[in-house]
Amino acid sequence: MRVRNWNVSVSSLALIVVATSLVLPVMGGDSKAAPSASYDPVTDQRLLQPAAGDWLMFRRTYDGQGYSPLDQVNTKNIKDLVPVWTFSTGVTAGHEAAPVVNGGILFVTAAYNKLFALDAKTGSMLWRYDRDVPEKALGEICCDVVNRGVALYGDKVYMGTLDAHLVALDARTGHVVWDTKVADYQNGYVITSAPLIVKGKVVTGVAGGEYGIRGFIEAFNAETGQSVWKTHSIPGPGNPGHESWAAGDAWKTGGGATWLTGTYDAQQNLIFWGVGNPGPWAGDVRPGDDLYTDSTLALDADSGQIRLHYQYTPHDLWDYDGVNEAVLVDIDRQGHRVKGWINANRNGYFYLLDRTSAQFIYGEPFASPTTFTGLDPKTGRPNVDPSKSPEDKKVDTCPAFLGGKNWMPISFSPATGYAYVSSNHWCMTISDLPGKYEAGKMYVRADFEMHPAHPDYIGEFQAIDVATGKKMWSKKYEAPLWAGALSTAGSLVFTGTLTDRDFTAFNAKTGDVLWKFRTNSGIVGVPVTYTVDGVQYVAVLSGFGGAIPLWAGPIHEKLTKSIPQGGVLWVFALKK
């Protein structure tokens, strides 16, 4: 498939996600199993210091490490891990969510704005919530009708929707408590990722960077749904950074989507949140660095004011969407303790920065990048190879726009000091196209096609020593990787694959494959682990979809088109 003239609607691509007749909130399941009598409200303190057996937010802890202190399942007994229950969502399309678990209640989302509350021990459904997706929203969503999860606070569960609303539901019953419009989906805005709860506020970003939106991060009162603060990722006139945009109105349609869940440093009271690519991809209308696109922002949690920022790819011409998560780490490096953040960036470099100052420490290539000849050793600013600029010619460069790493979260283990990354080695031919902005329509203005960087593999699951940025071990796969990672105190790392549909456990230190289980579909979800009644469970959603079928062209046709679809939550425990 060759993709051309991305200045128009992609409703034709959305035919694979045709809307069905959805219903208003539906209650079901065994009323005796309902959580009303046993649900433990989620407090600020529980979020700051979660019990080992709970998984109360997208990455379990505010630092975004995706690490669990549970070790009942470990390298010695992983061979005895077996499925103990499954749950089918009843829909196809991409299933990219991380389950969230509070005590014995598991919450998981699926494509098309679906949310299920399940008994975390047995899989019995307690209630479900279905939200209708407007037909126009279905026709204009960039990258599949996914939802990556929920947030918990008090007695409520919070979910962003494909029509750009934020919904609060009673965690015991599924009834809607409040419903707040965040943005207008008819202008290209959607919400696909889990909110972040910070000090009684529900914080969310928005997707839609390919539609000429102006991105933002917004915080809402968790009890009422009313806005508390809103910070745009594209600075307007009079704001710092506005000078990095061309004179005129380019900043109004500058992209900068904020579509992945952020992290939080309670000690500094800073929320770290990624900002995506500028729009359009063609850079002629926006000469300059285009702040704060392709950046991580550090926001004051009380006011939303930008305290720090770091831009990975100034004046991005390749869709090196910098929205990837900032994982907070404290490590020893060259005899010093570093309070840092790490970022496996779409541009193919793995970064370590000081989270107290946003000072660049290092950036090491991890995904065969050729667009840059390297990074400035002091600032980390990329040195662009002029032959890789598509502004006046067709070029072939790496990585492709889907990135050295896309949305799928890395995991960091404080036990090994390694970050575990689902990375991809692919390249693209790309050139600019003419066009103009039209509200609610694709505003990309690029012609592109992807191809593998290497003849025998694209995906690489790799362990990177965070102190040095060096690769310690890796496992290569012919097809791309699109699943998140989970590391545990049992010296294990879990992730999933696409064409072989395997849920796999590695030795966290050596990379040896210790266990794998073939699921129903390609895995693009985020694994988690939790305990109920003293038993450790490991859970992952299997259900291929997401950006690859829509955007990967020949790679999808050759490697992933035949993957079975359908969403199933798989839950494992040690056999008795």
All structural domains of the chain with their residue ranges: 13-574
Q: Is the pLDDT of residue 31 over 90?
A: no
C-alpha distances in angstroms, 389 versus 60, 161, 348, 432, 436?
40, 36, 16, 10, 21
Residue 164: predicted pLDDT: 96
Residue 247: predicted pLDDT: 78
Q: Which residues of 329-348 are buried (b: 16+ CB within 10 A; e: fewer)?
A: bebebeeeebebbbbbbbbb
Element (H, E) at 189: none
Distance of CA 368 to the CA centre of its chain: 22
Residue 100: predicted pLDDT: 98
Is 330 catalytic? The answer is no
Where does the pLDDT of residue 501 fall: very low under 50, low under 70, confident under 90, or very high at 90 and above? Answer: very high
Give the predicted TM-score (pTM) of the model.
Answer: 0.94
Residue 2: predicted pLDDT: 36
Where does the pLDDT of residue 38 fall: very low under 50, low under 70, confident under 90, or very high at 90 and above? Answer: confident
Please state the rounded mean pLDDT for residues 398-416: 98
Phi/psi of residue 517, nearest 5 degrees: -140, 130
Please state the rounded mean pLDDT for residues 339-350: 98
Average pLDDT score over the chain = 93
DSSP-derived 3-state class of residue 529 = strand
Options 2.140.10.10, 3.40.50.1370, 2.60.40.420, 3.10.25.10; CATH for 13-574 is 2.140.10.10
> Which range (6-15, 315-324, 386-395, 491-500) has the least confidence?
6-15
- What does the alpha-carbon distance between residue 507 and residue 502 come to, in Å, rounded to a whole number? 16
Q: Please give the single-letter amino acid code of residue 84.
A: V
CA angle (377, 383, 384) in 5-degree steps:
165
Residue from 319, 321, 432, 502 carrying the catalytic annotation: 319
